[in-house]
Amino acid sequence: MTGKLKYCWLIGFIGFLITFASSSGNNLFMTSLIRGLIAFAVWFVLFYAAFWIFGSLKELPNNSVQEEEIFADEEQGKGGSFDLTTPDESDELNDLLKHPPANSAHINDFAPLNPPKLVKTTDDTDTEELVKVVRHLTEK
């Protein structure tokens, strides 16, 4: 574990240096130092957690592997094949295609949307009203 701690310290120090260097140009010395220390702590904890997780996954006992093999041998035949068959309905489909149903008369209820059209007339605008609007907007 001591070798892993050395790597965690190294990664934390690299994170400190990068953060301190990038923030020292825009901030005070103490602000940059505090941010660098926070970055050091975050990187250290992240890599320590990653090493711990990988270490716990790596140290699985060999008994569990043997138990999995025994369990797999016992259940080898279960769920190995799955038969998907559909009933043959080709005759019914052919009958439907040959004889369309009589009750569905060809009714066309579709009508395209015809919205009212907006027409702009030049008589509606009075130049005095436009001048008042422009003056009102420029006053604000």
Q: Which residue has the higher pLDDT, 16 or 121?
A: 16
Distance of alpha carbon 24 from its chain centroid, rounded? Answer: 35
pLDDT score of 128 more than 70:
yes
Q: Where are the domains of the chain?
A: 2-60
Q: How far apart are CA 74 and CA 7, in angstroms?
A: 44
Q: How far apart are CA 41 and CA 139, in angstroms?
A: 56
Q: pLDDT tens digits for 35-85?
A: 999 999 999 999 999 988 988 888 766 665 566 666 666 666 666 677 788
Residue 44 is predicted with a pLDDT of 95
Q: How far apart are CA 96 and CA 113, in angstroms?
A: 34
Average pLDDT of the chain to the nearest whole number: 80
Q: Which residue has the higher pLDDT, 136 or 99?
A: 136
